[in-house]
Structure 1
Amino acid sequence: MSDIKEFYRRAANGEGQVYSVELKADDPRGVVQIVHGMSEHSGRYLELAKALNQHGYSVYANDLVGHGISQQGHKGAFSEESGGYDCLVDDIESLFRFGEKRSGRCPKVLIGVGLGAALAELHCARYGSESLLMGIGQLASPTLAPAISTAATNHILMNGYTSVSMAVHNMMTDHARMPGSDPENQYYWLTSDDEEIKKYIDDPDCGFPLAASAYKEILEGNRELVKTIKRGEMKDIPIYLMSGSMDEAGGYTRATREIAKLMNSNGSSQVAVKFYRNGRHDILHDHCRDEVTEDICSWIDHNISVIK
């Protein structure tokens, strides 16, 4: 297995750097990029990256701006002004270009988790430079989306673009509230593995509230993604959507089923879907993690062999 290389690149928002990692294969079969989810960081997917690297892939990942080591002085915000969400998509493309320079021209695979799934899908529509696309734990749109956008807009006008509103945060994450004072109760929706919940709670770069502007841009990005798919702008490549059957954040498979149906109806003819019984939102950190990792590697291996 390759050593992990850490490095920094200029972020697309022009405000600073984005932290990235690489596990380079000697003779790569493909380049895989992992896009992490909301309120976490790329380091949580190191085990998946190692498994993919052992299968012969060069693996890359960013800490999204506002997350992990890419905080840029405004933790939880994508930028100091509007447009940060779009810049996250641009950062994905620039990392692919970096990976191509390092690993040569070979098939590219994009894996997005949670928020990262929506970013990956939007990247596929805007750039289409990937050969394979995987979305894990698709997030459902909150029922109070219009009210959240209004509240976020008002908060930004009064407090600035990078400020946090706990009211907006609570509206956006209403699925995550559970009666009881123990911290573990707050993250019951994440995984059924209590040890993984404890690791998440103990990690200072996990579980933090995003800025009101970030939540607003996520909602806007979700609406743009739906419009983009309806316009038939998604590249018609093999797509694999995965979710836990008990993923409350994804509407108990509803979000995954809806995006798959939308893709199938608008030009994406190669969409596969799998649900993991009793898996919650973060199936890569749930009891089914080994099965999920094996499925990811097997699906990529098969499709890479078809491409070549």
Structure 2
Amino acid sequence: MRHVREHTLDGTHGPVAVREWPHPAPRYLALVVHGYGEHAGRYEELAAVLTGHGAAVYGPDHVGHGRSGGERVRIEDFEDVVTDVHAVADLARAAHPGAPLVLVGHSMGGLIAARYAQRYGAELSALILSGPVIGAWELPGRLLALPEIPDTPVSPAALSRDPSVGAAYAADPLVWHGPMKRPTLEAFVRTLRAVEQGGDIGPLPLLWLHGDDDRLVPLSGSRTGVERLAGSRLTERIFAGARHEVFHETDRKEVFAELIRFLDRSLPR
């Protein structure tokens, strides 16, 4: 494992644990925004790719996730999570003044990153969304219509065609393996609507990565949200046969290469 620094910030709802994968002289900063039920520590390989490309990488665990405080997977308001992520950006910029900032959001983290770009887009140099919860995501509405949320955890097999990814996820004590919670589902619905109504991101470069066999966040639903969010500089790459976690897929070297090409085009020289 690469050297990792640990930080703790005062978040909107308690302590927020932050991982930093440092770089001695970074050309840019990358902020990784993880998905539902998981934590930033699952992005070690992505962080290695980004630090190898010249980035200092930071990844918070959201409230109720990983090593951060709060009731497990309970998020009352995603606007507060966006505020927490912005505090992590402030931490990174204080350490490396003037470095361009890139935001990478996966799944639920894609929703958070999209809202961040609407609120703080002028501070960003690029936005990357991987399997983002954006647009027409039907799961929250279906679950909220039930009298009781079923105890149906995320299937590890839905993450990647690489069985080791699902096995590691299932064995990870920092991953939530229980049911979704009603306040979090209600927050999803509100924030999906907020992003829909929040306008596009103008000239900010946006890279959208998605697997065409993503059964957790289907491609067709995300497309409507991405196309509404994107301004004038959208790059889309859909990976045949890939499931939900393209950064953990069997063809992830191709995914990482696409990411690096996008950053080389988008970052100031």
Contiguous gaps of at least 5 residues in structure 1: 156-164, 177-185
Task: Measure, in 1, the Cα distance between the counterparts of 2:250 and 2:101.
Answer: 29
1:117 and 2:110 are equivalent in the alignment? yes
Give 1:134's aligned residue. 128
Deviation at 1:216, TM superposition (A): 1.2
1:248 and 2:219 are equivalent in the alignment? no
- 1:119-142 alpha-carbon deviations (Å, 9 max, x no partner): 001000011121100000123644
Deviation at 1:24, TM superposition (A): 2.3
Give 1:302's aligned residue. 265
1:260 and 2:253 are equivalent in the alignment? no
TM-score between the two structures when normalised by the length of structure 2: 0.91
CA contact (8 A) 1:241 1:256 kept: no
1:281 and 2:251 are equivalent in the alignment? no
Give 1:183's aligned residue. none
Give 2:203's aligned residue. 236
CA contact (8 A) 1:239 1:272 kept: yes
Task: Measure, in 2, the Cα distance between the counterparts of 1:39 and 1:54.
Answer: 28
1:166 and 2:149 are equivalent in the alignment? yes
1:96 and 2:89 are equivalent in the alignment? yes
Task: Measure, in 2, the Cα distance between the counterparts of 1:188 and 1:20.
Answer: 28
Give 1:143's aligned residue. 138
Q: Is the radius of gyration larger for structure 1 or structure 2?
A: 1
Q: How many residues align?
A: 266
Higher helix share: 1
Give 2:167's aligned residue. 198
Task: Measure, in 2, the Cα distance between the counterparts of 1:71 and 1:211.
Answer: 16
Task: Measure, in 1, the Cα distance between the counterparts of 2:39 and 2:249.
Answer: 17
Instruction: Give the direction of change, closer, same or farther, for the CA distance of 1:101–1:235 in structure 2 (3 Å limit).
Output: farther
- 1:217-266 alpha-carbon deviations (Å, 9 max, x no partner): 0121111111113xx4x343100000011111222x213322232235xx
Task: Measure, in 2, the Cα distance between the counterparts of 1:9 and 1:144.
Answer: 32
Give 1:7's aligned residue. 7
Task: Measure, in 1, the Cα distance between the counterparts of 2:165 and 2:141.
Answer: 33
- 1:2-51 alpha-carbon deviations (Å, 9 max, x no partner): 731111000123xx210001122222111110000011110000111111
CA contact (8 A) 2:11 2:84 kept: yes
Deviation at 1:207, TM superposition (A): 4.3
CA contact (8 A) 1:2 1:25 kept: no
Instruction: Give the direction of change, closer, same or farther, for the CA distance of 1:31–1:197 in structure 2 (3 Å limit).
Output: same
Give 1:158's aligned residue. none
Instruction: Give the direction of change, closer, same or farther, for the CA distance of 1:2–1:40 in structure 2 (3 Å limit).
Output: closer
Task: Measure, in 2, the Cα distance between the counterparts of 1:258 and 1:187.
Answer: 26
Instruction: Give the direction of change, closer, same or farther, for the CA distance of 1:94–1:187 in structure 2 (3 Å limit).
Output: same
Task: Measure, in 2, the Cα distance between the counterparts of 1:54 and 1:188.
Answer: 29
TM-score between the two structures when normalised by the length of structure 1: 0.80
Query: In percent, how many aligned pairs have the same letter?
Result: 24
1:55 and 2:53 are equivalent in the alignment? yes
Contiguous gaps of at least 5 residues in structure 2: none
State the SS of the aligned residue for 1:95: helix
- 1:173-197 alpha-carbon deviations (Å, 9 max, x no partner): 8xx6xxxxxxxxx333221111111
Instruction: Give the direction of change, closer, same or farther, for the CA distance of 1:147–1:199 in structure 2 (3 Å limit).
Output: closer
- Greater shift, 270-279 or 197-206, is seen at 197-206
Instruction: Give the direction of change, closer, same or farther, for the CA distance of 1:68–1:145 in structure 2 (3 Å limit).
Output: closer
RMSD: 2.1
